[in-house]
Amino acid sequence: MTLAATMKSLPTGYCKLLNPIRLNAVSCRYLSSRDLRMPPCDFVPDKYESLPYEHVVGVRKKNLSAALLTYYKKPLLLHQGHMQWLFDHKGRRYLDLFGGIVTVSVGHCHPKVTEAAKKQMDRLWHTTNIYLHSPLHEYTEKLTSRLPGKLKILYMTNSGSEANDLALYMARLYTGNYDIISLRSGYHGASPYTLGVTAISAYKPGVANSFGCHTTMCPDVFRGIWGGSYCRDSPVQTTRTCSCSPGSCEAKDKYIEQLKETLETSAAKRIAGFIAESILGVGGAVQYPKGFLKEAYEVVRERGGLCIADEVQTGFGRTGSHYWGFESHDVMPDIVTMAKGIGNGFPMAAVVTTEEIANAFARALHFNTFGGNPIGCKVGSAVLDVIEEDGLQDNCKTVGTHLMLELSKLRDKFDIVGDVRGKGLMIGMEMVTDKKSRRPLPAEDMNVIWETCRDHGLLLGKGGLYNNTFRIKPPMCITKEDADFAVAVLEVAIAEYLDTAGK
C-alpha cells in the first residue's frame, strides 16, 4: 500500500492528530501496533514574539562559547514549557523525556512552584545569609527532615559541580587525607576540582585539574567484564547469563576486587573519600550489581575515607522506591550532594552532612553569596511539597516500571537495542550494532534515530561512555499514555533507521 493510500485509510481526524513533521511508509507500517498520536494537552502557549530564529542562531555562533553544543541538526528554539511539554517558537509541542538534563523534576512551570517564586519576588529577592530570613530556615528544616540518620547539617550552593566540589573539600579537611576514589564513566561536574573525579574523557580539556583522584572499574553488568541476569535492582535485567547461586553475585565480588586493587596500587594507605552516583547519570544510567555500593562503602571506610552520595540526578523520589537513590543500596553516606531537580530548574544545590563533619569544616569561615537565596529556598520548599502532594515518587515507580517493561519489548524485537536499564524514571536504553558483539552503535547512526524521534515530537538525551545510550529522565509527572507514545515513536524511529540502512 502506498503512503497516500495508508493515510487515506486512517480514521477521520487521525492525520491531524499525528505530530510528526514527516510520516513515511515505514512509519505507517507500525501504526497498526502502536498509537503515534501525541497525548492531548489543553495548554495553549503564548505567541512567540522575540528574536527571529536566524538571529538567535547568529548570536549563538558569534557571541557564545564554541564549547556549548546544541542538540539536533537544526537546533530547537524553545519558547515555553508546561509540565511534561515543551513548545518551540512556532508553537509545536514536544514530549520532554530529558527534563532539561534531569533538572525539571515536578514539571515545567509547575503552577505551585511558579506561584511560590512570584510571591517571594514581591517580598525579598536577596539578602546575605549573615542575616536571618525565614525562607532559608523553613527550607533547611523541611529538607533535612527528609534525610535519614545524622545527615542534618545543610550547606546551600548554586550547582551540582559546586556541591560536589564542597563535598570533596569537606572530606579532605575532616579526614586529613587527600586521595579520592570515583568510578570510571562517572560524572560529578566540570569545574577544575570536580574534573578529577569525573571519569569521561570528553569533559577533560587536557590541562592539569584536581590531583589525588583515582578511578576504579565501573561495575557495569551489561558492558563490563562481569555481569549476569539477576544483578540489578531493576524491573529489567540484562540478557547475559550467570551461574551464581542464590544470595551470591560473582560480578559484585569481581568489581569489589577491582576497587581493592585500585586502593592498593594507586592510592595512599589512608584516603579522604569515595564519591559515586546511585545510578550513573551522564554515564548512561548504569546500575551496579546489588550489594556493590554497600561493600564498597565498607572497603573505603576501612581506609579512613568518607562516603559521598552524589544524588544530583537520582534524588527527590526519581528512582521510585525511595526518596534518595542511596537508600536502595542500603547504605548510609557521610555526605550527600544534590542539585538539578532540587529547584525544578531554578539554579540551586545543596550539601548535607553530619554535625561532626560540619564542625571540622568550621575551622575557617565558609560563605556563599547566593546559596540559600530567599527565592531559591521558596522554590525548593514548593518542590518538596509538590513531590508529596502530587504523589510523584509513586508515579516514578508506576510509570517508570511500565515504561521500562515496554522498552524491554523493543530490546527483544530489535538486535540494535542492547540493554534497557534503570529504576523509576531514571532510565537508559543502550544501542549497539548487534547484541552478540555489544559494539556501541556509531554516533551517526544514533543521530539518525534521535533526529527521527525529534521529528515525531519526542525529545531524548544521549549519554554513556560511547554516547550510545538514550537517556530517559523526564519530568516526574509524565503519564502512562506519555510513556506509550514515547515507545511508539522509538519503535518507528528504529524501524525507519533499519529500513533505510537496509538492515
**Whether 396 and 306 share a structural domain:** no
490, 446 contact by CB (below 8 A) = no
Place of cell 579537611: 173
41: CATH? 3.90.1150.10
Pairing of strands 273-277, 458-459: unpaired
Domain count, the chain: 2
Instruction: Write out the three cell numbers for 437.
Output: 558483539
Residue 399 region by backbone torsions, left for phi larger than 0, else alpha for psi between -120 and 50, else beta = alpha
Q: Residue 1: its pLDDT value, please?
A: 36
- Domain membership of residue 252 (yes or no) is yes
Among residues 166, 216, 191, which one has the least CA distance to residue 337?
166
48 with 191, same domain?
Answer: no
Which distant-in-sequence residues (6+ apart) come within 8 Å of 340 by Cβ?
A: 101, 102, 103, 105, 160, 312, 313, 349
Task: Average the pLDDT over 387-403 and give the result.
Answer: 98
- Domain with residue 324: its CATH number is 3.40.640.10
Instruction: Kindly tell me if the per-residue pLDDT of 50 is higher than 60.
Output: yes
Answer yes or no: is 365 within a domain: no
pLDDT at 28 over 90: no
Kindly tell me the sign of the dihedral angle through the C-alpha atoms of 123, 127, 131, 133: positive
Residue 223 and residue 333 in one domain:
yes
Express each pLDDT in 105-163 by its tens digit: 999 999 999 999 999 999 999 998 889 999 999 999 999 999 999 999 999 999 999 99
Distance CA 5, CA 13 (A): 15
Note down the domain range covering 476.
3-102+392-501
Mean of per-residue pLDDT scores for the chain: 92
CB 107 within 8 A of CB 96: no
**Which residue spans within 75-164 are E strands per DSSP?**
78-82, 85-88, 93-96, 153-157
Q: Is residue 379 part of a domain?
A: no
Tell me, what's the pLDDT at 367? 85
Contact between 122 and 498 under an 8 Å Cβ cutoff? The reply is no
Per DSSP, which regions of 278-424 are E strands? 306-310, 335-338, 349-353, 417-423
DSSP classification of residue 299: H
H or E element at residue 275: strand 273-277
Backbone angles phi, psi at 453, to 5 degrees: -60, -45
194 and 287 share one domain: yes
**Which residues are paired to 83 by β-bridges?**
108
Count of CB atoms situated within 10 Å of the CB of 330: 11
| Mean pLDDT, residues 401-419 | 98
**One domain for residues 319 and 448:** no
Report whether 399 contacts 478 (CB < 8 A). Answer: yes
Range list of β-strands (E), 193-256: 213-216
Report the C-alpha gap between 482 and 400 in whole angstroms: 11
Q: What is the pLDDT of residue 112?
A: 98
Q: 201 in helix, strand or coil?
A: helix
Residues 176 and 290 in one domain: yes
Report strand pairing: 306-310 vs 335-338: parallel
Q: Point out the domain boundary residue: 292, 321, 338.
A: 338
Is residue 153 situated within a structural domain? no
**Global pTM value:** 0.92
CA torsion angle for 128, 131, 132, 138 (degrees, to 10)? 10
The dihedral sign for the CA sequence 473, 475, 476, 479:
negative
d(CA 460, CA 473): 8
Q: What is the pLDDT of residues 316-370, one digit of tens each?
A: 999 999 999 999 999 999 999 999 999 999 999 999 999 999 999 888 888 889 9
Q: What is the DSSP annotation of 213-241?
A: EEEE----TTTSSS--SS-SSSSS--S--
User: What is the SS3 assignment for 476?
Assistant: coil
Identify whether residues 94 and 167 lie together within a single domain.
Answer: no
For cell 503564548, name the residue.
46
List 18's β-bridge partners, or say none.
37
Domain match, 303 and 235 both: yes
